[in-house]
Amino acid sequence: MAETENAATLPTLQVLTQYTKDLSFENPGAPESLVVKGQPQIGIQINVNARPVREGSEYEVELKIEAKAEFGGKTLFALELVYAGIFRAQNVAQETIHPFILIECPRMLFPFARQIVSDTVRNGGFPPLLIDPVDFVTLYRQRMAKTAPSGVLAS
């Protein structure tokens, strides 16, 4: 009986749905950009946003990935992806909900978003762009160093 009571009070995170919210791929120099000889400069930006969607325990979490490849001062490709999910958090203390949502949820979304980025860049005529794993704890700490957490999970 005590095991059942303990299990009922453990923090849980449930993925209710996940989806591509926005996807843009630009290949402005094609077809010339597809035969570039040399290593392009690739810049990647990753951001996380979250907001409550229903009273209480459900949140929409967005993982935004922007990637841009340049060579010789020209853009080879530019990609923007907003991959999102709806999550239900239960039995999470109010003082820990902010990091729980902004660390654990994007960690669950990342492999799917990474695959979309890889496939989209490959389908654009370039070698697949394989994004290294992201340390969402460090990303969260950097975000908190810039702004104080508020009651709302959005930026």
What pLDDT, in 10s, does the model give residues 54-101?
877 899 999 999 999 999 999 999 999 999 999 999 988 888 899 999
Strand order in the sheet with 12-26: 12-26, 74-90, 58-71, 41-54
pLDDT for residue 16: 96
**What type of residue sits at position 29?**
G
Of 35, 44, 143, residue with least CA distance to 98 = 143
pLDDT for residue 5: 54
In order of their start, the domains of the chain are 12-146 (3.10.420.10)
pLDDT for residue 1: 47
